[in-house]
Structure 1
Amino acid sequence: MSLENNIRPCYDIIKTIGTPDGKVPCFIMKSHRMFKAKILSNVSHNVSFLRSLKVPESTLNLCRPETLVTTSTDADEFNGNVNKVISMGFSPSSFGFLKALYVISVMDEKLAQKKEFYRKCGWTEDDILLAFSKNPIFITVSEKNVSSKMDFLVNEIGLQPADVAKYPSILIYSLEKWIIPRWSVIRVLLLKGLIREGQFSLVGTALMGRKDHFLHRFVDKYKEQVPELLSIFQGKIGLPELGLGFEERDRVKQM
């Protein structure tokens, strides 16, 4: 690429949107496919428009390049995306506003297909709207990825599809590295009678809580009664090895 005709102009554009020096390389890496002065030419206008709507600078600095770049140099495309997000109920000052704008920017044409997929997963229109309002990014996860997680959450754990819609971020987490280890610990504690259904929110507290909080509440607290809990959480011991009769699937009805 030409230093004078492309690289330097792109750098100047990136700096006009308030990107700190330390984050410029990250922005360039994320936008390398769009790293042309002609493509980035509308970024300054788009950022100015967001600032006029009082979008916080703290969130603008975290904005993904794909959110700010439109295929057309015409401002109407970006402005239309912004207005669409606002019409969905997102306030420009909210943390989720730029997440929703990112989804609309990169997936607008696929949203109808995605909504149909989630209907097949058992979600109602209200479930989809609720999940999108809570964390729009979940809808960018591939259908294959979501299918395996929904299958586990609904058919293995026994949650209702609507339960998952209340916590859409769970669909972003890894099934093997995050969801299954936590459920394995919870399942052992339930079968041993050390915890009871209704004491906590299974998804909100156990499956989505911070790692240190989970370890403190569900592993360290019961390590004397079940010394294997940490190894179960780390995937070093499988549930059948404990001999607790896991042939029968104990389903969680309401937690």
Structure 2
Amino acid sequence: MLSRLQYYLPLFGSFHNFLRLLKNSSRLLYLNLDKVIKPNVVFLRECGLGDCDIAQLCIHAPRLLTANPERVWAMVACAEGIGVPRGSGMFREALHAVAFQSKEKIAAKVDYLKNTFRWSDAEASVAVRKYPRLLRKSKESLKRRAGFLFSEVRLEPVYIAYRPEILSYSMEGRLRPRYYVIKFLKQNGLLDRDLSLFYAVKMTEKVFAEKLICPHKEAAPHLAEDYATACKGEVSTNFRFR
């Protein structure tokens, strides 16, 4: 047991991280270190992942360490198959996205993305490569975001394909409230530039307030309250647009 701790603690960075992994996979305590765990770690390092990356990845998918090495190799090949090469900044995300999913399931999810977002093969490939977590998103959440972005925001499919991170944000807590603020400001002549929703949702709450709410305290004293209300899933009268 001591030898395992001496190996795991530097790898996972802390005893807390080790306990988190152990909670999800007790197999770490008895699987053969030299034949299973260490070969997987060495291979993941060869793929360009640092120990911090491996720890974060395995907290969410601990079986990446405990699976048969041949299976881990196959998952790496699958991650490369969706267009994310080893050593790239997005490789960890891609590996997590495809981990323990069959090729058939991944293909079916890509087909769903193409149908839901009206993407061509090339556009779907771009979106998945830029934001691999799309493969883990529920169909219901994707459908709701597609309906909102197409029907209300009027975005084009290709725009979303090249900015798929927009699909990562909460509908109630980020996308819809910030869209309402932008639309309100535009309709009332308070926005002197063409601000995209994608740019707005990437802002932190502090920056969003500083740039789009605080400057309009006199012209729209209710805006902060209306925005806070929208973030709770409710719509104020000022945000009911025709």
Please indicate, yes or no, whether the TM-score normalized by the shorter chain is above 0.5.
Answer: yes
Alpha-carbon separation, structure 1, partners of 2:32 and 2:110: 30
Instruction: Kindly indicate whether residue 103 of structure 2 is the aligned counterpart of residue 119 of structure 1.
Output: no
Which residue in the other structure is 1:216 paired with? 210
Higher helix share: 2
- CA drift of 1:228 comes to 1.2
- CA drift of 1:111 comes to 0.9
Which residue in the other structure is 1:153 paired with? 149
Q: Identify unmatched segments of 5+ residues in structure 1.
A: 249-255
Distance 1:84 1:191, change over 3 A: same
Report the TM-score, using the length of structure 1 for normalisation.
Answer: 0.79
Which residue in the other structure is 2:74 paired with? 80
3-state SS, counterpart of residue 225 of structure 1: coil
| Contact 2:127–2:164 (8 Å) recurs in 1 | yes
Aligned-CA RMSD value: 3.0
| Contact 2:21–2:62 (8 Å) recurs in 1 | no
Which residue in the other structure is 1:227 paired with? 221
Which residue in the other structure is 1:252 paired with? none
Instruction: Output aligned runs, 1:47-196, within 5 Å.
Output: 47-65=41-59, 67=61, 69=63, 74-109=68-103, 110-121=105-116, 122-195=118-191
Distance 1:167 1:234, change over 3 A: same
| Contact 1:59–1:95 (8 Å) recurs in 2 | no
**Number of residue-to-residue matches in the alignment:** 237
- CA drift of 1:64 comes to 2.8
Alpha-carbon separation, structure 2, partners of 1:39 and 1:33: 13
* Bigger mean CA offset, 210-219 vs 85-94: 85-94
- CA drift of 1:69 comes to 2.0
| Contact 2:181–2:227 (8 Å) recurs in 1 | yes
Report the TM-score, using the length of structure 2 for normalisation.
Answer: 0.82
3-state SS, counterpart of residue 165 of structure 2: helix
| Contact 1:181–1:233 (8 Å) recurs in 2 | yes
Which residue in the other structure is 2:17 paired with? 23
3-state SS, counterpart of residue 57 of structure 2: coil
3-state SS, counterpart of residue 27 of structure 1: helix
The percentage of counterpart residues that share the same residue type is 20
Task: Give 1:141's aligned amino acid.
Answer: K
Distance 1:172 1:108, change over 3 A: farther
Alpha-carbon separation, structure 2, partners of 1:103 and 1:194: 41
Alpha-carbon separation, structure 2, partners of 1:231 and 1:98: 39
- CA drift of 1:58 comes to 3.3
Q: Identify unmatched segments of 5+ residues in structure 2.
A: none
Q: Deviations over 1:34-87 (max 9, x none)?
A: 666349973332111111333233322322345452598542211122133235
| Contact 2:27–2:66 (8 Å) recurs in 1 | no
Alpha-carbon separation, structure 2, partners of 1:100 and 1:91: 9
| Contact 1:53–1:92 (8 Å) recurs in 2 | yes
Q: Deviations over 1:81-115 (max 9, x none)?
A: 21332354434333311110111113334211111
Distance 1:54 1:120, change over 3 A: closer
| Contact 1:85–1:101 (8 Å) recurs in 2 | yes
Task: Give 2:47's aligned amino acid.
Answer: L
3-state SS, counterpart of residue 116 of structure 1: helix
| Contact 1:67–1:101 (8 Å) recurs in 2 | no
Alpha-carbon separation, structure 1, partners of 2:9 and 2:66: 21
| Contact 2:127–2:162 (8 Å) recurs in 1 | yes
Instruction: Kindly indicate whether residue 197 of structure 2 is the aligned counterpart of residue 202 of structure 1.
Output: yes
- CA drift of 1:22 comes to 3.2
Distance 1:157 1:26, change over 3 A: same
Q: Deviations over 1:159-213 (max 9, x none)?
A: 12222222222222211122111111111101101115x623321x112322222
